[in-house]
Amino acid sequence: MTKRLLEFRNATAIAGVGYTPFTKNSGASTLTLACRAVLAALADAGLTADDVDGLATHRVGDSAPPTLVGPALGLTDLSWHLDQFGGGSVSHAVVGQAALAVATGMAETVVCYRAINARSEFRMGGTGRGLPVSPEVQYQAPYGYVAPPQQYAMYARAHMLRYGTTAEHFGTLAVTQRANAAKNPRALMRSPITLDDYLASRWIAEPFRLLDCCLETDGACAVVVTTAERARELRRPPVLISAAAWGGGQSHLSGGDPTVTAAAGLAPRLYAQAGLGPEDVDVAEIYDCFTYSVIVQLEDYGFCPKGEGGPYVASGATALDGPLPVNTHGGFLSEGYVHGVNHIAEAVSQLRGEAGDRQVPGAEVALSTAQPGYILPATSALILRRA
Amino acid sequence: MTVHRPEPDRDSREWWERVARGEFTVQRCAGCGADRFPARAFCPACRSEEWEWRAVPPEGRVESWIVSHQPFVPGLATPYVVVLVRLAAVPDGLVHGNWRGGREPRGGERVHGVFRRVDADLTLVDWGPAG
């Protein structure tokens, strides 16, 4: 690792997090949601909009860009912004790029946000919106293969065929994350479920049932990125960005091994940057658009050998009292779906020791990950630690 | 049956035209001889831009499949099966299609392509058990 990359380790921090409520119909524009979340994150940090010189988001043509949000908050001379095209693959890259901007001095205080009306306006499930812009869609859409639950179900089945992963493995994740959500006042779905409830839920795209799928949600979430030095002077305990990595390239739509994701290539770079390994991670907030995406990432981030993600989950390892609590907020499956940013915000809450009934005692190091590289062949991740 | 009509790009238009004539093709790189799918101008192995179409038997093995129940495509009757096939001609090539088996697919089973003429302008490739 280069000296300059070593200097990036722990040079920047997340100093604040902010949310709007998660609902099925926000009744507000994505611009309004973005402004609310940005202001909430700044208030959490003890800052105001006047302190902001950078804004960043990711979106798929479905939300307000920084060039709208900035002026709406009276910010007419930003020194850095980023409008990243992409879905969940790039959520953590946005924060990583903000950290780069802060580390180089291009900006001092960047707010990264995602505002989404994924239930009431732009559903990801395919109905009511155009098909994604990718030349590979032409080989799939004519066969009725258009929506993320179908695509992920295809890869999940490949994993089941190759490694013997079962519905009970998927279901254990759904049950465990719901139990976490029951301890999270912000979560949309808080009623406990059993494995039988999971197995009885209706088919969406076999092998996926309803309870394998995330909640399409209206809401926004934001985090404030600044230098570690400055974060120490602010209102909240700073959470250091120990590593930020993004990359990828292997398309699963036209080749490759469907049971391995871009995370397998990224993980060694990420851990090396932080100077840590999977054994150092106290809590993991893992992109869970579907149950299977957690299982494959537990393997690709090195928490268990390839093919053993299902038994690892079934052992209780990812429960709140297990060796690796995963998605302590309930995740997309039960808290809500803000395209990756709510996973980062939950990691921050855990490292500050502010997660209430769902707090992982003594959590010092957190991993948070993006969509691992199916559909869009890229991924991103952060390792955060308590200062 | 309601279908999303494919929108060929400038790399793939001829591939679809050949499918409409009942021909299943992959591209063979003139630089290194590697076969590839789907249609692209550059060989990812040697970066040559020289290539030719190569007609191959539409054969492969079942990599995975789904049974889609949710009405993601308005007007398309559910449930239906979409199968992911690893091509025999291009081991790194995966192709999607509807299943014409009369039963669910089996992991790893050998399959062959079945041309489905939707209308005068569109032909698709489905898959069923080989032999």
Q: How many domains does chain A have?
A: 1
Contacts of A196 (CB under 8 A, 6+ apart): none
Catalytic residue among A152, A287, A292, A301: A287
| Residue B34 confidence (pLDDT) above 60 | yes
- Residue A63 included in any domain: yes
> What pLDDT, in 10s, does the model give residues B56-108?
999 999 999 999 999 999 899 999 999 999 999 998 899 999 999 999 999 99
The CA distance from A265 to B101, in Å, is: 37
pLDDT attached to residue A136 = 86
Q: Is the ipTM of this complex over 0.95?
A: yes
Cβ contact A226:A362 at 8 Å? no
A251 touches chain B (CB under 8 A): no
Buried b / exposed e over A284-318, threshold 16 CB at 10 Å, is: bbbbbbbbbbbbbbbbbbbbbebbbbbbbbbeebb
Residue A127 pLDDT > 90: no
Percent of chain B topping pLDDT 90: 89
Please name the residues in contact with B71: beta carbons below 8 A apart, sequence gap of 6 or more: A127, B78
Question: How does DSSP assign A199-223, residue by residue?
Answer: HHSPEEEETEEGGGBPPP-EEEEEE
Number of Cα atoms under 13 Å in the Cβ half of residue B16: 18
Instruction: List CB contacts (< 8 A) between A129 and chain B.
Output: none
- Catalytic residue flag (residue A287): yes
Omega cis (within 30) before A311: no
d(CA A242, nearest CA chain B) in Å: 34
3 state SS of A277:
coil
A70 lies in some domain: yes
Predicted confidence at residue A133, as pLDDT, reads 66
Question: Has residue A49 got a pLDDT over 90?
Answer: yes
Mean local confidence (pLDDT), A361-377: 95
Q: Is the pLDDT of residue A132 over 80?
A: no
Q: Which pLDDT score, from 0 to 100, does residue A117 have?
A: 94
**Quick check: A34 pLDDT over 70?**
yes
Flag whether A186 is in a domain.
Answer: no
Domain that holds residue A239: 3-123+217-286+362-386
Task: Indicate the pLDDT class of residue B42, thresholds 50, 70 and 90.
Answer: very high
d(C-alpha B65, C-alpha A386), whole Å = 44
* Minimal Cβ distance to B69: which of A138, A157, A204: A204
For B67, nearest residue in chain A (alpha carbons): A206
pLDDT of residue B91: 83
Could you tell me whether strands A378-386 and A365-369 are parallel, antiparallel, or unpaired per DSSP bridges?
antiparallel
Average confidence (pLDDT) over A367-381: 94
Structure confidence at residue A189 (pLDDT): 97
Q: Answer whether residue A261 is part of any domain.
A: yes
Q: To the nearest whole percent, how much of chain A has pLDDT over 70?
A: 97
User: For A297-309, what is each residue's pLDDT tens digit?
Assistant: 999 999 999 999 9
Is residue A48 pLDDT above 60, yes or no?
A: yes
A256 neighbourhood in chain B, CB within 8 Å: 92, 94
Residue B123: the pLDDT is 97
pLDDT of A249: 80
Asked whether residue A208 is assigned to any structural domain, the reply reads: no
Helices and strands per DSSP (H, E), number in chain A: 13, 11
Rounded Cα gap, residues B15 and A254, in angstroms? 15
Residue of chain B minimizing CA distance to A160: B64
Amino acid at A86: G
Closest among A27, A330, A343, A345 to A187, alpha carbons compared: A330
Span A155-180, average pLDDT: 98
Closest CA to A265 of A380, A184, A104, A144: A380
Say how many CB pairs under 8 Å bridge A and B.
114
- Contact assignment for B82 to A206 by CB distance below 8 Å: no
Q: How far apart are CA B76 and CA B70, in angstroms?
A: 10
Whether residue A98 is contained in a domain is answered as yes
> Does B97 sit within 8 Å of A143, measured CB to CB?
yes
**Which of A124-133, A222-231, B35-44 has the lowest average pLDDT?**
A124-133
Cα distance between residue B99 and residue A46, in whole Å: 58
Q: Test A136 with B38 for CB contact under 8 angstroms.
A: yes
Average model confidence (pLDDT) across chain A: 95
For A323-342, how does the pLDDT look when each residue is reduced to its tens digit (9 = 90+)? 999 999 999 999 999 999 99
List the CATH number of the domain containing A247. Answer: 3.40.47.10
List, for residues A234-285, the tens digit of each pLDDT value.
999 999 999 999 998 877 766 789 999 999 999 999 999 999 999 999 999 9
pLDDT at A135: 81
Q: 3-state SS string over chain B?
A: CCCCCCCCCCCCHHHHHHHHCCCCEEEEECCCCCEECCCCCCCCCCCCCCEEEEECCCEEEEEEEEEECCCCCCCCCCCEEEEEEEECCCCCCEEEEEECCCCCCCCCCEEEEEEEEEECCEEEEEEEECC
Bridge partners (DSSP) of residue A283 are A366
Q: What is the DSSP letter of A326?
A: B
In this prediction, residue A134 carries a pLDDT of: 77
Select the more confidently predicted residue: B51 or A128: B51
Rounded CA separation A22/B102 (Å):
44
Per-residue pLDDT at A221 exceeds 80: yes
Q: Tell me, what's the pLDDT at A126?
A: 56
d(C-alpha B10, C-alpha B22), whole Å:
20
Nearest CA in chain A to B13: A138
* Rg of chain B (C-alpha set): 15
Q: Which tokens go with A343?
A: 């996973």
How much is the pLDDT for A124?
74
Choosing from A198, A292, A312, A337, the catalytic residue is A337
Q: Is residue A80 in a domain?
A: yes
pLDDT, position A24? 95
Is A316 among the domain residues?
Answer: no
CB of B131 closer than 8 Å to CB of B110: yes
Residue tagged 């380790």 (tokens): A9
Vertex A197: Cα angle to A195 and A201 (nearest 5): 120
CB burial of residue A4 (10 Å; 0-12, 13-18, 19+):
exposed
For residue A138, the distance in angstroms to the closest alpha carbon of chain B comes to: 4
Whether A312 is catalytic:
no
Residue A143 with chain B: CB contacts under 8 Å? 3, 82, 96-98, 124, 126
> Residue B131's CB: how many other CB atoms inside 10 A?
5
Residues in chain B: 131
pLDDT in the model for residue A131: 61
| Residue B24 CB neighbours (<10 A) | 21
